[in-house]
Structure 1
Amino acid sequence: MPAPALALALAAALPTTASAQATQAELYIDVATHTMPGMPGMGALGRMAGAMGAGAAPGYGMARHPGMPGKYLDVALHNQRRPGTPARQAVPKGLRLGERIDLLPPASKSGNDATPAANDALGQHGDGSFRIRYYWGCGEQVRAGQPAEFTVTVRNGKVVQSGRAMTPRQVPQHAVGQDPRYALWPNPSARKTVAGNASLAGTHTVTGEQLPASLQFELGRDHDFMPELKLKSEGDAGQGMTLRWDGVDGARAYFIHGTAMDGETIVMWSSSEDGYAGQELIDFLPESLVAQWTGKRTLMGADARSCRIPREVFAGTGKGTPMLQMVAYGNDRTIAQPGWSVRVRTKSTAMLMSGLGGAATQEAGREAAKPAAKDAAKSVLRGLIGR
């Protein structure tokens, strides 16, 4: 073949080769372990908490913000050639979900189901003023310049803000929601939940209409469920609390956020040393951001094992009232091959509510019921200052 003809033939072949190498399928896997230290497993308090969680099987999306203790797994598949088409994922025996899980597109929702949480909360509270007091940092005493205070007043549906409003940290949103272009697990057809002794380690194979035949990958210990985050507290809100925990294998950093009520004032605190950091950090974070924020002391390093909450933070909230949330950040890895990619994110979280250790008293039961109201308040705050 003459040289010019050969060059034309090669040029014509190049687009086809590039197209064949383009990503045809993207698989997203979120892996979470959640615990509530001191929560009785089968007692009256445990049953009450189960009822609060609606008693239903975990649904897709709960790996980001788990409710009850356990292991959580979210899987989302984007088939570029056939978006929203069902697929199957053969899974290792150790996952204890059978030979495979079925990935299905989400069911469509009616317009009546979508009501913004912040608007709901504002409507329930009506007119009034809400004061928020912020603290941050571990130690015996609060830092100079704290607390920062912020007041939100709602009158006739209008919001007026005053004081020092804190800006939430910018956390990249790489989560896949209930998007009809994706096939998801868990879904309404899933009959099993993830067992406490489940493991993702092993071979996974995804098959479906017009998916790459090579979509098979291995997950090892680094991509598996992380161990439980065993958080313990010493002292009380009035005298100051010291938080301690055992190291979590695979953890790259830690972060703690606390919330309590002081009369009509919402008190918030975090373990960050470089300024305000909110509940938005109790989520999966990219490894690059974990490294950056650990260096700035927004996050505690992997070798951290304790944090003292200054007495002034929760001194006015009464004994046993703070709700504490903690996260151990794991890996955020991508496995890429010609035609497909798999992204796996891991974390381990804990929620500690004072009063749940020892005897399960009625007072402890009332304490366990408070997070729902506090979560609603925080939803309002995110809507107001998290723009």
Structure 2
Amino acid sequence: MNLSKKFEELVIKQLESFDCSMGVTHLVMYLASAKHGTKASFEMIGQWPKKDRLLISMEDDPSLKFSSPNRRWYPLQENDILLGVLRVETDLTGGDWPVSLDTRLKALSISLAKCVSIELERQNKNEEINYLKNQVNVIIHQLRNPLAALRTYAKLLIKRLGSDDDSIQLVERMIIEQQQINQYVDSFAQLNSPIQFPLEIGEERLLLPPNLDNKKEITVQSLLRPILERGKANAKLENRDWAEPSFWPDWTLSPLKAKYAVIAEIAANLLENAFKYAHKDAEIGLTITSKGLGIFDNGKKITKNENEKIFQKGFRGSAAKKKDGTGVGLFLARQLAQQIGGDLKLIENSSINHDEELKNLKKRNIFYLELPIKELHS
């Protein structure tokens, strides 16, 4: 068994804590091990006091061939599974061991058994993680070739289309989407690097690939452009009205700090929800104010009693009952907004108590992403 150094140190500390209490002279911990097709054995992994670093199995220790009234064995057991044993040697005579000593040794054996169980679980998880990482590497390797081929075929198609500008524009959009998929592939490739988990963000989030190049200058406009192009294409395909900004305020054109790239993730999530849940002829769009973004649809109005519930993890509103989904999108979007110092809310009535610039936006549902404008820029 490939034991971690921390586990071995913990075992030694546990054994040392007993010291020479109540006549105990020697403590030895063994782990059960058995290779396929061989007889089970018990390997020594730690002892007190430290005599040497030679750790031998129980079967190879000649001193254990004979029983002794000064020696007892305590099983290290998890449910019905024997994980190992604790050997205890004392200078007591006649085999008369105090009840208090026996109680303490039983407690020590239970504690050591828990340590072994946790270590085994850690090893199993590491094996699973390594297996999954290897599988991800294989998938990434297999994906890169067809993705490169798609780009090549798209460029060849552009050459053949000649002066058909409308068709060329569609193919160019396909190339941009292919580049987005490449970003996803790059983000998967980073899984083999040490992962620093973001605070208070659930394991479900990866709506868009992260900003992989922190040196690349980003703006709100550059983040939203590909999302708006995708929305425009969806609206055209579904024969619905689409609205997007014709004017970009200064705060959307200035370079952003890298951590605010999640604005794109929030906006993409909200637009995806709008296309999924609004009825077929409902207008969908995005507007920009001096304080943030409004993602709206003119579909069925979200009921008043669902205004806050839809931001709860796992809750699905009446419009989503017959649609696929997990009920985590709005929950994560609000978490991300609050993480960067903003907020996300559903505006019930845009004509009162809200951003002045939204008063004239007569839409049934407006999700307003309020942003810390002064803090956005580097």
Fold in common (TM above 0.5): no
Q: TM range, normalised to the smaller chain?
A: under 0.3
More strand by share: 1
Name the structure with the higher helix share: 2
Give the structure-1-normalised TM-score: 0.23
Relative to the length of structure 2, the TM-score reads 0.24
The structure with more radius of gyration: 2
